[in-house]
Amino acid sequence: MLDHIFLTVSDLDRSIAFYSSALAPLGIVNRLDYDGKDGPPGHPDLKGFGANGRMFFWLQLGSVDSSSAHVGFVANSREMVDATYAAAMAAGATDNGAPSARLHYDPRYYAANVFDPDGYSLEFVYKSWQHNE
């Protein structure tokens, strides 16, 4: 299980606005700014996102290599996938696969895919078998 991930972005303000809107339907609505000077030498400033008392998705300013990461976010229903996809598109995402079953994985794998403003591949996914259904 992952605890957190850092994603390097080219424009923090733009990315904070994008992720604040795009992730809200997933319940990822908590924000935290971490000042790197409070950490060990060389620690970056971070802009965090989380839910339920956990901060797990962090942005840092720097050089972007959008081919270096694909981030999949858990949705609790198909409707949540649909809402998150719509929110991401409204916030400036580029479509990379509208919400639907991903039959090449499993007929119960329902997802939507977008590219964020820096071109990172994001997936909003509902796997019914992981939700006791």
pLDDT, tens digit only, all 133 positions of the chain:
789 999 999 999 999 999 999 999 999 999 999 999 999 999 999 999 999 999 999 999 999 999 999 999 999 999 999 999 999 999 999 999 999 999 999 999 999 999 999 999 999 999 999 987 5
pLDDT of residue 133: 56
Give the global pTM.
Answer: 0.94
Rounded CA gap, 27 and 12, in Å?
21
Identity at 15, one-letter amino acid code: S
Buried b (16+ CB within 10 A) or exposed e, 40-77: eeeeebbbbbbeeeebebbbbeeebebeeeeeebbbee
Rounded CA gap, 99 and 83, in Å?
10
Nearest to 120 by CA among 5, 3, 1, 2: 5
Three-state DSSP class for 92?
coil
